[in-house]
A and B are shown apart, each in its own frame.
Chain A
Amino acid sequence: MSVDTLPKARQRYRWREARIALLFVLPCLLLFIAFRFGPAVAGGVLSFTDYTIGADTNWIGLENLRRLNEDPLFWRALRTTLTIALLAVPLSILMSLGMALLVRRAFRGSKLFRSIFFLPVITSLVLAGIVFTWIFSEGGPWTSVMGWLGFADRAWLSDTTLVIPAIVIVAVWGRFGFGMLILLARLQDVPRELEEAALADGAGAWQRFRYIILPELKPALFFLAVIETTFSFQIFDTVYVMTGGGPANSSYVLVYQLYDQAFRYFDFGYASAIGLALFVMTFIVAMIQRLTLGRER
């Protein structure tokens, strides 16, 4: 083997390796081009057209965005979506945190609790919606309990104000188990000696939480906040099943409007414009995450 043939051999070997690697990536690549990259761009392009089934498509420029801007229903749906996020995100994080602290130490049945708390996460939101519709119905358990507690025993799902908390409750119920697991993983990293030392120094529960546990959890809490916000922007299944956007549009969220426009009125152009709005919202949240995390580092 002479010295100058070696690089050439390696080159050939690499080419062979690359060919095989490309072959391995190819199926995924094709799938992504057809169902992710292409549609992501097409989604943007569509929002500047009046595309609908069976008609000629016209380029209408900013018309759809102008319509968004003037559509009271869109603004209302945006407001409702943000309200749900504003309520659901902190609640679900608090709940996750509370439950994580509750079951972090091994005690009789702590495993069982973890399993039970996680169960909602794997439950279909459609099923949850069906059961919760009954729970919130007139004469349902929730309504009765509210009655005993001295509140008006009205059905929450048919009340324009209370329907939002009802949706939020179901969202939190379905999500807190996930947050709990994330936080539990982080809690294991809290140095036990540190906590014990603090305890010996007479630090109260709150102080131990504030100065020892919380700093450790901060990144995880932040991660949760972002993921939960994105998630609540996309709420749809439960609203579809429980309220259909009502009563009187009071639970009409953005994804519901997108669904209505695309698959009920077949106005795909306008639906894509709503999708674009959702994208911008998600993007902003992700950017906030980026910037804040960057600063922390």
Chain B
Amino acid sequence: MILPDSLIPWNLSMEAYDRVIGARSLLRWTLNTVIYSVVSVVGVLFFSSLAGYAFAKKRFPGKEVMFWSFIAMLMVPYHITVVPVFILISNAGGVNSYWGLILPTLANAQAVFLMRQFIKSLPDELFEAATVDGCSEWRMYVSIVVPLIKPILATLGVFVFLWHWNDFLWPLIIGQSNDMRTLTTGLASMNAENVPLNVVLAGSVVAFVPIFMAYLIGQRYFKEGVTMSGIKG
């Protein structure tokens, strides 16, 4: 909560919110949330599956050190890195931008770990056969690895999506203008600014329905995703 300044008009009238913030902002926030969630899911799945595959099935110098330092990052609470990451992004001019919002969240240690575990459990023969066929590494990734890891892609994808959809602290500090808010930070700001409860609740429904529908359809993935990762977004 920010100290309202002495010049803030103290009687923000209700109609102003219905008109201004109401429909237009909710739409915009929903769009932002979708962009934040979908782009992040695609990015995290792509990068983590590449790395996970390399860690699981390839031999290269520094592999163990790299992998375990990735995993060590699971131990470092989000809150110790949030300040430096914010400083970095804000110095690079990323405040109130999609890239500033999304880029830092692509470094997802959990995703790399789970990818590696999953791919490691697949029999080596599947990959060796392709090598003998003279498949190029990239083609092999696209045509062999990706189909094989579909289950983990779905589960992890759902989890990452959920995490971003519900994320609060990062969008709160990076998306500061009204236009760059997500549903969670937008609703929190409405709540803090004394928008009448029915308007806020209406917004909450908008934010909840997509997740709820997705949950109804893909319950299994939700449960797997959240339990596997152990951490709620």
Chain A residues with a Cβ under 8 A of chain B = 14, 17-22, 24-25, 27-29, 31-32, 34-40, 42-44, 46, 51, 53, 115, 118-119, 121-127, 129-131, 133-134, 174-175, 178, 181-182, 185, 227, 230-231, 233-234, 236-237, 240-241, 244-245, 255, 258-259, 262-264, 268, 271-272, 275-276, 278-279, 282-283, 286
Contacts and interface: CB of A to CB of B under 8 A. Distances in A.
Q: B2, B85, B183, B207 — which one has the most chain A CB atoms within 10 A of its CB?
A: B85
A175 B232 contact: yes
A40 B169 contact: no
A181 B187 contact: no
B210 to A, nearest CB: 11
Given A24-B51, A31-B106, A31-B107, A182 B78 contact: no
Contact of B80 (A22, A24, A37, A43): A43
Contacts of B3: 264
A241 B84 contact: no
23 contacts: A24-B53, A27-B50, A31-B103, A32-B109, A36-B73, A37-B73, A39-B83, A39-B85, A40-B73, A40-B76, A40-B80, A40-B81, A118-B219, A118-B222, A126-B166, A126-B187, A133-B191, A234-B78, A236-B168, A240-B188, A244-B1, A258-B83, A282-B75
B81 A18 contact: no
Contact of B50 (A28, A119, A282): A28
Interface of B: 1-3, 47-48, 50-51, 53-55, 58-61, 63, 66, 69-70, 73, 75-88, 90, 103-104, 106-107, 109, 112, 137, 141, 162, 165-166, 168-169, 173, 183-185, 187-188, 191-192, 197, 200-201, 204, 207-208, 211-212, 215, 219, 222-223, 226-227, 230-232
SS of A interface (majority) = helix
A264 B3 CA distance: 9
Contact of B48 (A28, A34, A131): A28
B137 A28 contact: no
Nearest to B53: A24
A39 B51 contact: no
Nearest to A16: B137
B82 to A, nearest CB: 8
Given A36-B107, A39-B88, A122-B222, A130 B204 contact: yes
Contacts of A53: 90
A174 B76 contact: no
Contacts of B183: 124
Contacts of A37: 69, 73
A129 B201 CA distance: 11
Contacts of B82: 39, 262, 275
Nearest to A133: B191
Nearest to B48: A28
Nearest to B76: A40
B223 A278 contact: no
Given A32-B70, A241-B188, A121 B226 contact: yes
A271 B83 contact: yes
A51 B88 CA distance: 13
Given A40-B76, A258-B79, A126 B168 contact: yes
